[in-house]
Copies of this chain bind each other. A is one copy, B any other.
Amino acid sequence: MTGAVRSRGPGRRPGPTETREAILASARELFAEKGYDGASLRAIAREAGVDPALVHHFFGNKEGVFIAAMRFPVDPGRLLPVIMAAPRERLGETMVRTFLEIWSDADRRAPILAMLRSAMTNERAAAMMREFVSSALFARAGAAADVPLVNVQSAAGQLIGVMLLRYVIRVEPIASVPEEELVTLIGPSIQRYLDHSAP
């Protein structure tokens, strides 16, 4: 019980900001305790002392709560349509360009790296990330592009690995080549994975 909503004195109803924060606090607690799959919207609402309808109202669905609670810097629900709007044969370069755009912004990169760091050092964080990226990120991207999941994941691996070398280890020359050069270099590899259509 986070108490952020209920701890106020009687006679004063909590404002939307407080309610939202209370839901997020409960969500963080429950996701950490039970993992992404184990934490239900209903339980999060109960823990926050609010009606489940309010959780829907603020965040849409469990994925939305997770993204907000974990301060996940990228909303796959918004990002994916942007990428998928590209012509099929330019999906690879569009993905590389979109990801570089996000990572080159230190403010957006920081929480992604924080998440990767905790997944690398903490089994519970790894489990949470695993469930989330599986169900929210990869499954959806695979379905949208009609490619096998393992192909989507190989492409994601390519992007994650380059991000590590460019922005974390900062090894030269990949740390400082212009973005467009990387798009040209890596785009076709990503495209190759996406061109394999699902069996």
Contacts and interface: CB of A to CB of B under 8 A. Distances in A.
Interface stretch (A18-26, A55-63, A82-90, A169-177): A169-177
Interface string A163-182: 11100111111100100011
A90 to B, nearest CB: 17
Contacts of A168: 119-120, 126
A44 interface: no
A150 B171 CA distance: 10
A182 to B, nearest CB: 8
A160 interface: yes
30 contacts: A116-B164, A117-B117, A120-B120, A121-B121, A126-B169, A129-B169, A130-B169, A130-B171, A138-B171, A150-B173, A150-B185, A151-B185, A153-B165, A153-B173, A153-B174, A154-B174, A154-B182, A154-B185, A154-B189, A156-B161, A156-B165, A157-B158, A157-B162, A157-B174, A158-B162, A159-B161, A160-B164, A160-B165, A188-B192, A189-B193
Contact of A169 (B119, B150, B173): B119
Interface in A140-157: 149-151, 153-154, 156-157
A113 interface: yes
Contact of A161 (B121, B161, B172): B161
